[in-house]
Structure 1
Amino acid sequence: MTTVAASNNARRISRGFAGAFLLAAIWELSARGFNLPAYVLPSVSSILSGMITDAGKLAAAARFTATEALAGYLLGCVIGIAAAVGVSMVPRTRGVVMSVATAINSVPVVAYSPLVLLWFGIGMTSKIVMVAVAVSFTVFLSTLAGLDRVDRRSVDLVRSFGAGRMAALWRLRLPTALPLIIAGMRVSTVRSVIVAIVTEMLGAHGGLGWVIYQAVLQIDFVQVWAAIIVASAISLCFFGAISFVEQRYIFWK
């Protein structure tokens, strides 16, 4: 099974690289063939050249954004899972917690950026808070759905053998819910990077969002695309890391 899984992963990776190469080739030919201006669509070769020229600047910005996204992601996962477990353990709080969570997330999370920047400043803390808010709701819903799918008869059986509520949660409910929990965490990876970048564009000392904002002011659209590609690479690596954990450790799904 391990060999088959490794073979399947290798095929998926090779197809991904082939698709990316084909897209880059079409992009390059279209930009050069139609002589498109840089503000419409710069060529891939010019973007790669710009990435090499500004490698130090982009690397520093990427580290800044990745740190914000990862810290906010971990905080959001902890909050989301803890809230879902709390609601599951105390069902009477479900209506209140769901109402508050839904009300907060009924508005696009970026709308809170001015307030968060005002409260926490334009440093890294405000971006971590924004990412945590965006991630926590998704993880909360997926965790709650996973905990709800546990067969009540299985819980009663475990309790009949003398297991307490916490033992039943740890040994039965959480393992059963893990596939949905990790699915919510996987979806949230891309969202964490997006929210970090958008918040940086509204106010920051660094990061890819700040680079994009500055490049737009300088009408340097090649650098805009270079920062976007670096951000996409971060998102893909983040997504791939969580997917690897899912395939490696959530073997019973």
Structure 2
Amino acid sequence: MAEEDRRRRDAVTAAGWSALGVAVAIGGWALTAAAFAIPEIVLPSPAAVVTAFLRLPGYLLEQAAITLTETVLGFALSVICGLAIGLLIAAWRVAELMFAPLLVAFNAVPKVALAPLLVVWMGFGQQPKVVMALLVCFFPVVLSVASGLTSTPPELVELARSLDTPRGQTFVRIRLPAALPQIFVGLKVAMPLASVGAVIGEFSAGDAGLGFVIVQAGGSADTALAFAAIALLGVMSLALFYALVLAERLLLPWVRETSAAR
């Protein structure tokens, strides 16, 4: 009971510090805009951004829902593909030698350069944005899966071998649980990147979504509306990230128990 109370207090304290950080950032933003008399078209004040959101709340939330759908679909596909390829690389040395250099080279290619090609191949619709989200967050998932599965503590592997444990059971009961913390690290890196990929796709091939709103608002010099869309995108990405953190805590309770308290 005392441990549960301590964790509850820690959670409240962490939330309080996070809220204070946001308040300091917004206050610094407002003071900078006011102190240097920066024009609204260059840097709108927080009040102007809130006003812009309240001017079109339904429209902005509708566009946020579109971007959210593209982000989640792209992330889900990256997890499926990343798990499959990461598992192949971890299980077969030849696959690692064949495909690891290609994956590194592909990851080095700026994904913005692929956006026009995706439009040519898939047209103006949801598909190129989802694929762009997949491409941007794919590499961290593959890397975390492969690294996690190949970094199983050797003493556990030797114990399984000494007990003549079948390879399938060794994977399910030892290697996969040992790899899950590392895999979730990659997933938490990839989640924000998925929203970045979706917005990149909307910049190039969008007729809807927050990226489209930013482009349209910038073209019409409505900087406050663009900032409102950016802020909404940040809130959406933050919510997705912490949803993944919550999933990790629920699925991997032993990680918190065995890791050093902070």
Question: What interval of TM-score do these two structures reach, taking the shorter chain for normalisation?
Answer: over 0.9
Q: Distance in 1 between matches of 2:113 and 2:168?
A: 38
Task: Name the residue aligned to 1:161.
Answer: 163
Instruction: State the 1:154 CA deviation.
Output: 2.0
Q: Does 1:49 align with 2:51?
A: yes
Q: CA deviation at 1:188?
A: 1.0
Q: Deviations over 1:144-190 (max 9, x none)?
A: 11111113342242244343222211111010001110011011111
Distance 1:70 1:146 in 2: 23
Give the SS at the match of 1:41: coil
Map 1:44-123 to 2 at 5 A.
Answer: 44-123=46-125
Q: Does 1:174 align with 2:176?
A: yes
Are residues 143 and 3 of structure 1, via their aligned partners in 2, closer, same or farther at CA, if it must alter by over 3 Å? Answer: farther
2:202 match: 200
Q: How many angstroms apart in 2 are the aligned matches of 1:153 and 1:173? A: 12
Q: Give the Cα separation in 2 of the matches to 1:229 and 1:147.
A: 37
Task: Please report the TM-score for the alignment, with normalisation by the length of structure 1.
Answer: 0.95
- Residues 13-42 of structure 1 deviation map (CA, whole Å, 9 limit, x = unaligned): 111111111221222232233321112211
| Residue aligning to 1:221 | 223
Match of residue 127, structure 1, among 125, 129, 136:
129
Give the TM-score taking structure 2 as reference length. 0.91
Contact 2:148 2:178 (8 Å CA) reproduced: yes
Q: Aligned residue for 1:251?
A: 253
- Distance in 2, matches of 1:143 and 1:3, equals 35
- Give the stretch that moved more between structures: 231-240 or 130-139: 130-139
Among 171, 184, 187, the residue aligned to 2:186: 184
How many residue pairs were aligned?
253
How far does residue 210 in structure 1 lie from its aligned partner after superposition? 0.3
Query: Structure 1 residue aligned with 2:9, among 7, 27, 30?
Result: 7
One-letter code of the match for 2:252?
Answer: I
Unaligned runs of 5+ in 1: none
RMSD of aligned Cα (Å): 1.5
* Separation (CA, whole Å) in 2 of partners of 1:133 and 1:125: 12
* CA distance in structure 2 between the partners assigned to 1:121 and 1:217 by the alignment: 23
Instruction: State the identity %.
Output: 29
- More off after superposition, 154-163 vs 13-22: 154-163
Q: How far 1:56 sits from its partner (Å)?
A: 1.0
Show structure 1 runs of 4+ deviating over 4 A: none
Q: Does 1:233 align with 2:235?
A: yes
* C-alpha distance in 2 between matches for 1:165 and 1:111: 43
Question: 1:116 offset after TM fit, Å?
Answer: 1.4
Whole-angstrom CA distance in 1 between matches of 2:178 and 2:220: 52
Q: How far apart, CA to CA, are the structure 1 residues paired with 2:75 and 2:172?
A: 23
Which residues of structure 2 form unaligned runs of 5+? 256-262
Q: Distance in 1 between matches of 2:112 and 2:5?
A: 44
Cα deviation digits, residues 193-220 of structure 1 (max 9, x gap): 1111122011112000000011111111
